[in-house]
Amino acid sequence: MSASYLKNVASLVFVQEECVGCGMCYEVCPHGVFVLLEGKARIALPDNCMECGACAVNCPVGAIAVQAGVGCLTAIVNSLLRGRKANGR
């Protein structure tokens, strides 16, 4: 699991009441933001969100919204500073 990017800045919005428990957000999130508990997704590590949008795109009921922002930018900048591409290669 990766470290958090920036504290309390992710634009991630999750409406748990709309969650159908499919687990797609859990499966596609590259940084372990979501967990599955009692048949529903929950946000476990919001500061790990890099705002890539994979969860929102794959949520079949639209219970998740996220805007590309500082988390994604931070991941890209940190990767460049370390001499790697953003995809880790």
In a domain, 56, yes or no: yes
Amino acid 67: pLDDT = 85
- Amino acid (one-letter) located at 34: F
pLDDT(1) > 50: no
Using alpha carbons only, give the angle 41, 44, 48 rounded to the nearest 5 degrees.
120
pLDDT value of position 15: 96
Residue 67 lies in a domain: yes
CA distance 18 to 1: 27
Q: Is residue 40 part of a domain?
A: yes
1 found inside a domain: no
d(CA 13, CA 10): 9
Domain range for residue 48? 13-81
The pTM (predicted TM-score) of the whole model is: 0.72
Residue 88: predicted pLDDT: 47
pLDDT number for residue 77: 73
On the question of pLDDT at 22 being above 70, the answer is yes
pLDDT tens per residue across span 27-72: 999 999 999 999 999 999 998 888 888 999 999 999 999 987 666 6
Identify the pLDDT of residue 50. Answer: 83
Number of domains in the chain: 1
- Inside any domain, residue 2: no
Q: Please check whether residue 3 lies inside any domain of the structure.
A: no
Tell me, what CATH number does 67's domain have?
Answer: 3.30.70.20
pLDDT of residue 89: 45
Q: Is residue 77 one of the residues assigned to a domain?
A: yes
Domain assignment present for 66: yes
